[in-house]
Every structure is written in C-alpha cells, then in structure tokens.
C-alpha cells in the first residue's frame, strides 16, 4: 500500500472532527494552514514532548523493577491500512508485556484523546502483548516554586479502563476511514457542524445562507442535526414551534425582521449605573506550558501589558495610559505598580468579558500580596460592557450570535477596524511579546514590536470607548 494511503493517528484525529474532513484531508482538499494560535500550541506541544521523554527515562522507567525493562520512543507499527507511531513504549520484564504512554500537552485529556489512544492500542496489539495504557499529560496542580521540577510538572494517568470499552466503536470508525479512502464521493461522509472552524467549507457548507442556523448562540450539535433533517439552514426558516433558548429565539426574530432589537431602557439603566471616572481597560497575556516564574501554573496567563482609556467626566477629553513589561522579570509587580498610578480609588472599570480580566486580577493578587486590596477593589468596580449584548439588550442580525468585540465593533463602529494593524489579535500579540523579550537581540526589531503591541492594545480599549459612546447616544 502507498504510504500516502496509510491511515495515521493524525488522519484519525481529523476523522474525529468529522468524517468529511478526513475525506478532504486524504484528497488534498483540507486547509492545513495554521493560524498564530495553532502555531503557539504546537510549539508548546513540542516543549512538553521533550520534557515527557526526559520524565519517562528519569521517573517512569525506574518504577519497572528490573534493569532489563526496555523503553522506546516513536516506534512505528503498520497493520494493513493503518499506521501508528507510538510516543513511548516500555516493556515490563516481570510480566513480559508492554505499556503504552501517549504524550498529550494538555492539562486534562479530551474525549478525542481517548479515542486516538485507543486507535494506537488496537494497532499495537497486533504486534505486541499490551498490558496497560497511559496518557502522560501536564499536571495542572503543579505550581512552580524555585527550580523547575520535572517530576511534578507531568503526570501519568492510567486510562486502560477507558480504552477497553472504546475499542469496538473505534474499530468501526477505523473501518469507515478505510471505506472513505476508497470512494470519490465526499457526500458519503458526514460533514461537520461548526463552519467557523471548518477547514473544508466548500465541501461541508457550499450553500450556506448569510445567516445560518450555525450562527445561533450556543447551538448544540443535536439541534443542528434536527434542523438539518428538516432541511432548515437559514435562521429565518426555523419553525415557530422549534424549541430554542430565549437568546436563540431573539436571534431568529431579529433575523426575520432584519432589524436590530434594542432595549433602550435596559441599556440606559446599565450605563447610568457607571461611575466616573470611567476606565476602559484591556490586558494582553502570555501562557507558556512550562511556568517561567514562581507562583505560576502550567499555561497560566501571565499579564505583560495593559491599555487604559480614561474619561474623568462627560465634559473632559479622553486620556490614554499604557504599559508593557520589556524585560525578563516577573511582569505582575511592575505592571501593577504602574497601573495603580493610573487608576484612582473611584470610578468604574470597564472591560469586555470580565471573566478574563477579573481572573487575572485574582491571580496577580496572589502573586503580589501588596496589591491584593487594589486588585480586589478593581474587581468590585469592574463592569462588563459585553453584558449589554450577552443579555440581549442589543441584538443585531449581523452579530451572527456572537458577543465578541471583534464581531460587534464592525457593525456598530465600522470606521474603526484592525485591518491595517500589524498585530490584529491576542495570539499574535503574545507571540510578538515573547519574541521581543526572550528571543530578539535586534534593537530595531524590538522597538517595532513594542510599537505594534501598544497600537494593538490601545485599539482594544478605544473600541470599547467607541461602542460605549454609540450606546449612550441611542
């Protein structure tokens, strides 16, 4: 069989996304382009993988009591149409059986990880006598204190009892892969149900209306399938008796009328409760798999930048303050010291999705106890501007069920956009910051990155100001 026709674990993971994605991948119709966040995750995955190999040699292998126990990395096995390349195999000389260790760079395995581990197990059992199956993943309880402790960073989870009952279902999926590999008709493969994430939209969503059922807020796969069974794709065609959440129902009504729904009274009450000065605040952060500084957990967000637009009163001009940590020290203390100079003891702090900012404030309060009272006060004064849209006080069909500022801003304030910025999203911002501080030695490059970071974060808080102004004017 041609190597290109072998079905690998990577292929199988794509099948788990959707069978049609697998068909597209094997027929060169699957978009393999990686965005900046994908690249960041892959890079962190490589870092975890290297640490996992060291962990296996230093902490797992010694638990196998005899010196003759064998450990191998990335050994390839083929069974008919299928190929599996293991992460770690260890032979227990006492039982004369092999244990599988699959490396995952996550802090908690996801359902697809159990399926792809089962895929590996099924193939390896054709060649070896397999005893136990483990997923070696990042330990989310690890908090760095002093030197990096590899023995605490990773944990080996025995998933043997989870793999066994998945074998029959996984084998059925594997045989479906074989069938799809043999057909030219992609329509025989089930499409996905998330067009925003789809990498082969021409195959999965070739005739999608401008406002589709997939735009319904928090729509479930079950509801999508029910509507598709009734040949309903357009939001406006959703039957009147179809069970929807209140949020989804408002979306349907707005789509049918093609006019925004605006609860002016509710919006007015929300905004009138805000107290001047108004502080429009946004953070940028970096989340490495291996904590860089003491007090951090794996993948914990490390705030390195803030932007702050300040309106002291309705009559005064807008002020702007900003700060970026530019050296390789723990960023929280320096950032909070500066921020405390910019935010007084009175006034409302306005953010977009306060779960993020307030969560970071709590973490920074733990990292910097001297600022704990300041952080608690900021959280008590924080207002989430997204709530107006989340609570359906303002619903526009062009939002397409999203409350993201990147989707609301172009509708309400189309003259303000991110298209001409060198940094256009948070993923690029964090990667750029890490490059500026930890990688680049070129002063000109570092200055350019700094300017790009400041411009991007300022745009985020200015966007909130402009949306707030729009809402106050209605």
Question: pLDDT tens-digit profile of 137-177?
Answer: 999 999 999 999 999 999 999 999 999 999 999 999 999 99
The CA distance from 323 to 130, in Å, is 55
Q: Write b or e for each residue in 63-75: b if 16 or more Cβ atoms lie within 10 A of its Cβ, otherwise e.
A: ebeeeebebebee
Average confidence (pLDDT) over 282-290: 97
Confidence of residue 69 (pLDDT cuts 50, 70, 90): low
Q: Where are the domains of the chain?
A: 3-181, 212-259, 267-473
pTM value is: 0.92
pLDDT at 68: 56
Q: For residue 139, what are its two tokens? A: 């330990």
Token pair 């700094």: residue: 450
Average confidence (pLDDT) over 96-101: 94
Nearest Cα to 388, choosing from 413, 354, 435, 356? 354
Q: Are 323 and 338 in contact (CB under 8 A)?
A: yes
Q: Is the pLDDT of residue 469 over 60?
A: yes
Is cis: bond before 298, omega within 30 of 0? no
pLDDT at 4: 64
435: Cβ–Cβ under 8 A, 6 or more apart, which residues? Answer: 449
- Give the CATH number of domain 3-181; options: 1.20.1630, 3.10.450, 1.10.10, 3.90.320: 3.90.320
Q: Is the pLDDT of residue 311 over 50?
A: yes
**What tens digit of pLDDT does each residue of 369-426 get?**
999 999 999 999 999 999 999 999 999 999 999 999 999 999 999 999 888 899 999 9
pLDDT at 241: 93
Count CB-CB contacts under 10 A for residue 6: 16
The CA distance from 449 to 324, in Å, is 11
- Which superfamily does CATH assign the domain made up of 267-473 to? Ribonuclease H-like superfamily/Ribonuclease H (3.30.420.10)
Q: Percent of the chain having pLDDT more than 70?
A: 98
pLDDT averaged over the chain?
Answer: 95
pLDDT at 37: 85
pLDDT at 66: 63
Q: Is the pLDDT of residue 3 over 60?
A: no
Q: Is the pLDDT of residue 2 over 60?
A: no
Write phi, then psi, for 134 (nearest 5 degrees).
-125, 150
Q: Are 308 and 320 in contact (CB under 8 A)?
A: yes
pLDDT at 5: 82
The CA distance from 252 to 232, in Å, is 13
pLDDT at 312: 97
Confidence of residue 1 (pLDDT cuts 50, 70, 90): very low
Q: Is the pLDDT of residue 107 over 60?
A: yes
Write phi, then psi, for 467 (nearest 5 degrees).
-70, -40
442: Cβ–Cβ under 8 A, 6 or more apart, which residues? Answer: none
341: Cβ–Cβ under 8 A, 6 or more apart, which residues? Answer: none
The CA distance from 119 to 125, in Å, is 10
Q: Is the pLDDT of residue 7 over 60?
A: yes
**What is the DSSP track for 6-63?**
SB-HHHHHHHHH-HHHHHHHHTT-S-----HHHHHHHHHHHHHHHHHHHHIIIIIGGG
Q: Percent of the chain having pLDDT more than 90?
A: 92
Average confidence (pLDDT) over 358-376: 98
Token pair 């770690």: residue: 88
Q: Are 379 and 361 in contact (CB under 8 A)?
A: yes
Count CB-CB contacts under 10 A for residue 395: 21
Q: Are 254 and 246 in contact (CB under 8 A)?
A: no
The CA distance from 173 to 19, in Å, is 9
pLDDT at 359: 98
DSSP state of 96: T
Confidence of residue 64 (pLDDT cuts 50, 70, 90): confident
Q: For residue 195, what are its two tokens? A: 């067009």
The CA distance from 126 to 396, in Å, is 56
Which stretch of DSSP H or E encloses residue 366?
A: helix 354-367
Q: Is the pLDDT of residue 67 over 70?
A: no
Q: Is the pLDDT of residue 65 over 90?
A: no
């Amino acid at each position: 069989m041609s190597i290109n026709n072998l079905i690998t674990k990577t292929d199988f993971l794509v099948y788990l996304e959707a069978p049609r994605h697998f068909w597209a991948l094997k027929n060169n119709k699957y978009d393999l382009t990686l965005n900046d966040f994908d690249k960041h995750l892959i890079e962190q995955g490589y870092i975890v993988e290297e640490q996992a190999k060291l962990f296996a040699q230093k902490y797992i292998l010694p638990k196998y009591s005899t010196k003759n126990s064998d450990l191998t990395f990335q050994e390839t096995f083929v069974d008919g149409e299928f190929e599996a390349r293991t992460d770690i195999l260890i032979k227990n000389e006492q039982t004369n059986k092999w244990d599988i260790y699959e490396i995952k760079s996550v802090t908690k395995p996801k359902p697809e990880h159990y399926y792809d581990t089962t895929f590996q197990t099924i193939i390896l059992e054709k060649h070896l006598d397999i005893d136990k199956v483990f997923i070696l993943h990042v330990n989310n309880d690890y908090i760095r204190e002093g030197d990096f402790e590899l023995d605490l960073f990773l944990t080996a989870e025995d998933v043997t009892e989870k793999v066994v009952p998945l074998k029959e279902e996984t084998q059925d999926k594997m045989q479906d892969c074989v069938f799809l590999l043999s057909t030219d008709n992609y329509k025989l493969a089930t499409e996905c149900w998330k067009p925003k994430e789809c990498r082969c939209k021409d195959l999965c969503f070739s005739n999608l209306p401008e406002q589709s059922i997939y735009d319904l807020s928090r729509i479930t796969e079950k509801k999508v399938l029910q509507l598709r069974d009734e040949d309903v794709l357009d939001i406006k065609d959703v039957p009147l008796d179809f069970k929807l959440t209140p949020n989804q129902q408002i979306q349907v009504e707005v789509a049918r009328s093609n006019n925004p729904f605006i609860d002016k009274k509710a919006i007015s009450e929300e905004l009138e409760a805000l107290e001047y000065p108004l502080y429009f605040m946004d953070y940028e952060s970096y989340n490495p798999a291996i904590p860089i500084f003491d007090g951090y957990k794996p993948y914990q967000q490390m705030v390195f930048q803030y932007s702050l637009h300040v309106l002291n009163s309705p009559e005064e001009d807008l002020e702007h303050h900003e700060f970026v940590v530019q050296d390789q020290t723990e960023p929280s203390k320096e950032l909070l010291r500066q921020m405390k100079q910019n935010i007084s003891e009175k006034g409302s702090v306005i953010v977009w999705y306060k779960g993020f900012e307030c969560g970071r404030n709590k973490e920074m309060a733990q990292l910097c106890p001297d600022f704990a009272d300041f952080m608690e006060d900021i959280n008590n004064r924080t207002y989430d501007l997204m709530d107006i849209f989340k609570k359906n006080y303002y619903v526009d069909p062009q939002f397409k069920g999203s409350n993201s500022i990147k989707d609301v801003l172009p509708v309400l304030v189309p003259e303000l956009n991110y298209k001409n910025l060198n940094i256009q999203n948070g993923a690029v911002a964090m990667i750029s910051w890490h490059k500026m501080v930890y990688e680049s030695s070129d002063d000109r490059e570092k200055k350019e990155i700094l300017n790009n970071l400041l411009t991007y974060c300022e745009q985020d808080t200015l966007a909130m100001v402009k949306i707030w102004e729009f809402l106050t004017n209605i």
